[in-house]
């Protein structure tokens, strides 16, 4: 399996600020995915990060709120902009593995005050 790291592992932020989360993979991958897991909920796909083109966002998520960068095949960032307490979640990146499976990073636990 790929080795995925995320930074920061956790953060506490003030409302109105922005946080950029980094995801680093130890091998080149065509796609990287960003998920959100709100407290007590399951995972929801935010967007697919494509190298060399804009990210593809899922319904309910917009680029202005969650800008994504994908400068190369091993790295991506997700920014949570103008945060509110409702953005308190775990944010996870993942990469494809095997046949339609995905392998997840350790997650970033975000608390917005």
Partner 1 sequence: RKEVEQDPGPFNVPEGATVAFNCTYSNSASQSFFWYRQDCRKEPKLLMSVYSSGNEDGRFTAQLNRASQYISLLIRDSKLSDSATYLCVVNTGGGNKLTFGTGTQLKVEL
Q: Which residues bind partner 1 (CB under 8 A)?
A: 31, 33, 41-45, 48, 92, 96-107, 109
Minimum CB separation of residue 112 from partner 1 in Å reads 18
Provide the token pair at 76: 């991506």
The residue (of 83 and 95) whose beta carbon lies closer to partner 1 is 95
Minimum CB separation of residue 13 from partner 1 in Å reads 19
The residue (of 14 and 100) whose beta carbon lies closer to partner 1 is 100
DSSP designation for 99: T
Minimum CB separation of residue 43 from partner 1 in Å reads 4
- What gap in Å lies between CA 60 and CA 44, rounded to an integer? 10
């Amino acid at each position: 399996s790929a080795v995925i790291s995320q930074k920061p592992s956790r953060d506490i932020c003030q409302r109105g600020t922005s946080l950029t989360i980094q995801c680093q993979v130890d091998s080149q991958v065509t796609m990287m995915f960003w998920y959100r897991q709100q407290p007590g909920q399951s995972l929801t796909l935010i967007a697919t990060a494509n190298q060399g083109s804009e990210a593809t966002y899922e319904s309910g998520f917009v680029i202005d709120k969650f800008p994504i960068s994908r400068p190369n095949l091993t790295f991506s960032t997700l920014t949570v902009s103008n945060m509110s307490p409702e953005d308190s979640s775990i944010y996870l990146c993942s990469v494809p593995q095997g046949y339609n499976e995905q392998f997840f990073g350790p997650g970033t636990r975000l608390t917005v005050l």
